[in-house]
Amino acid sequence: MASTSIRTLLGTRNFYAKPVSRKNGAAPEEKKALLGRPSNNLKIGILGVPNIGKSTFFNALTNSSVPAENFPFCTIDPSEARVIVPDNRFAWLADHYKPQKETPAYLTVIDIAGLVRGAAQGEGLGNAFLSHVRSVDALFHLCRGFDDPGVMHVDGSVDPIRDLETIHYELLLRDIDWLQKVHQEYKVVASRLGAGGNAVEKKKKEDFPTITKCLEWVEKGNDIRMGDWTNKEVEVINQQYLLTAKPMIYLVNISEHDYLHLSKEPNPTIQRIQAWIDENHPGDLLIPFSGSFENQLSLFNDTPEDKQMVLEDASQQVGATIVSALPEIIVNGREALNLHQFFTAGPGEVRSWTTRKDTLAPQAAGVIHTDFERGFIMAEVMKMDDLKQLGSEAAVKAAGKYYSKGKEYTVDDGDVIYFKFNVTNKKK
């Protein structure tokens, strides 16, 4: 099938208009609200056209063995797995406290079926696919950069930019369709409401201008996440489950040879994709990896020494340091979800807890137990850097760096916290 660019499909529309800088419009005195819904179980989905290595990547990443065969739509139902997030701070704490139990942070990853052109109109797995995308909080957008005539491509040739555009186009079409329906509904309510109406109707009338603005934005070919929205607008957007609002990290699946020689030979495929991202989605991250290489490495997941030997052999062969790309991908996936870690640490357990950025101390306590939030008295906080530098909790205290923080304290990434609470006072 011949490739058709998004620009051609949308005719004269100003597709991929340069987005407004996300930084410039931010009101300096106000903290920017985050796109996305707060949840204790945030998930990141693997997205892309069929047969490009999504399940191979999922298996290597999560040590799973879902089918990853050489035919399109090998994956139909999404698989889900949790993967430990590498974190030096956690490792340091575990080493320092030598606890009976260690509980690291996890990232939940979902392997989604391949999406084809026309999905928004029901092609391929169509709407089922789009509803899987809807249920995740961020996306690893995977594309094929390996040239292997033995692995078929649904569009007949390897062309990552075309594939990226196919996916973006389908997500955008689905958002346009969704927003058009919501816009129509809110417009009717807004025009007949006058001063009356119930609370739900009043809210729709109030939200109507934001919905109109969002619709105009996506109809110009822009992703919602590239817009510069006020906090009030973000609240409205977060109620709409828009696909183009989700944070996205681009992953290019290249051949083993190309991966091993990345630092030595400029890779034209990656350069082309980077230029495309810079033009259309500035600021988004691109991480190359090799599904076939990671797949081989993952065979040694249970014997880390052997894995290290394979990496050392590969490094020697090519004269450059070769590491797995997966830790970087996991860490950045978490970053895209705007997640923070705080730690509780003692001889019983060292544990990494997950919150969204900008969480206040009582809500962070609530992640551990609702009683901690209800009866919150204070958070006793050590900064990870202080603890590492001074060497022990006692030394941190002696240096006056063991802080007592109240309800208004915003928990920082890497805080080591001991919560004080009293439930009986608060039970009314």
Q: Tell me the closest approach of the beta carbon of residue 70 to ligand ATP, in angstroms.
A: 3
To ligand ATP, the closest distance from the beta carbon of 306 in angstroms equals 21
Can you tell me the distance from the alpha carbon of 33 to that of 354, in angstroms, rounded to the nearest whole number? 18
DSSP-derived pairing of the beta strands 339-345 and 349-356: antiparallel
Asked if residue 298 binds Mg ion (CB under 5 A), the reply is no
69 binds, among Mg ion, ligand ATP, none (CB under 5 to 8 A by kind): ligand ATP
Residue 125 C-beta: closest distance to ligand ATP, Å: 9
Name the minimum Å distance from CB 76 to Mg ion. Answer: 9
User: Footprint of Mg ion on residues 31-60 (CB under 5 A)?
Assistant: 54-55
Binding-site residues, in ranges, read 51-56
Residues 84-113 that bind ligand ATP (CB under 6 A): 113
Single residue of 40, 91, 121, 148 touching ligand ATP by CB under 6 A: 148
Fill in the per-residue mask, 239 to 258: x = in contact with ligand ATP (CB under 6 A), - = not in contact.
--------------x-x---
- Asked if 381 touches ligand ATP (CB under 6 A), the answer is no
Binding partner of residue 72 among ligand ATP, Mg ion, none, CB cut-off 5 to 8 Å per kind: ligand ATP
Q: Does the protein bind ligand ATP through residue 147 (CB under 6 A)?
A: no
Strands 43-47 and 138-144: parallel
Q: Is 56 in the site for ligand ATP (CB under 6 A)?
A: yes
**For residue 134, what are its two tokens?**
């809807």
Minimum distance from CB of 394 to ligand ATP (Å)? 51
How many whole angstroms separate alpha carbon 52 and alpha carbon 160?
A: 10
Binder of ligand ATP out of 19, 36, 45, 53 (CB under 6 A): 53
Six-digit token string for 8: 């051609």
Measured at CB, which residue is nearest to Mg ion? 75
**Between residue 267 and residue 296, which ones bind ligand ATP under the rule CB under 6 A?**
290-292
| Residue 346 interacting entry, from ligand ATP, Mg ion, none, C-beta within 5 to 8 Å by type | none
Does residue 253 bind Mg ion (CB under 5 A)? no
Question: What is the size of the binding site for ligand ATP (CB under 6 A)?
Answer: 25
Query: What residues are designated binding site for ATP?
Result: 51-56
Which residue, 113 or 339, has its beta carbon nearer to ligand ATP?
113
Report, in Å, the least distance between residue 236 CB and Mg ion: 35
Name the residue nearer to Mg ion (CB basis): 111 or 165.
111
418 closest CA partner among 355, 361, 339: 361
Name which position in 19, 36, 50, 333 contacts ligand ATP (CB under 6 A): 50
Contact status: 79 vs Mg ion (CB under 5 A): no
Q: 160 vs 49, 75, 370, 374, CA distance in Å? A: 10, 20, 47, 51
Record the tokens describing residue 114, joined without a space. 């391949």
Q: Are the C-beta atoms of 364 and 380 separated by less than 8 Å?
A: no
Q: For every residue of the chain, which 3-state class applies, written as one string?
A: CCCCCHHHHCCCCCCCCCCCCCCCCCCCCCCCCCCCCCCCCCEEEEECCCCCCHHHHHHHHHCCCCCCCCCCCCCCCCEEEEEECCCHHHHHHHHHHCCCEEECCEEEEEECCCCCCCHHHCCCCHHHHHHHHHCCCEEEEEEECCCCCCCCCCCCCCCHHHHHHHHHHHHHHHHHHHHHHHHHHHHHHHHHHCCCCCHHHHHHHHHHHHHHHHHHHHHCCCCHHHCCCCHHHHHHHHCCCCHHHCCEEEEEECCHHHHHCCCCCCCHHHHHHHHHHHHHCCCCEEEEECHHHHHHHHCCCCCHHHHHHHHHHHHHHHCCCCCCCHHHHHHHHHHHCCEEEEEEECCCEEEEEEEECCCEHHHHHHHHCHHHHHCEEEEEEECHHHHHHHCCHHHHHHCCCCEEECCCCECCCCCEEEEEECHHHHCC
Residue 321 CB, nearest approach to ligand ATP (Å): 20
Q: Which residue lies nearer to ligand ATP by CB, 224 or 314?
A: 314
Contact between 324 and ligand ATP by CB under 6 A: the answer reads: no
Near ligand ATP in 155-214, by CB under 6 A: none
Which one of the spans 44-52, 124-132, 209-217, 244-252 is the region binding ligand ATP (CB under 6 A)? 44-52
65 vs 317, beta carbon nearer Mg ion: 65
Residue 148 CB, nearest distance to ligand ATP (Å)? 5
Chain residues in the site for Mg ion (CB under 5 A): 54-55, 74-75
Chain residues in the site for ligand ATP (CB under 6 A): 48, 50-56, 68-70, 72-75, 113-114, 146, 148, 151, 253, 255, 290-292
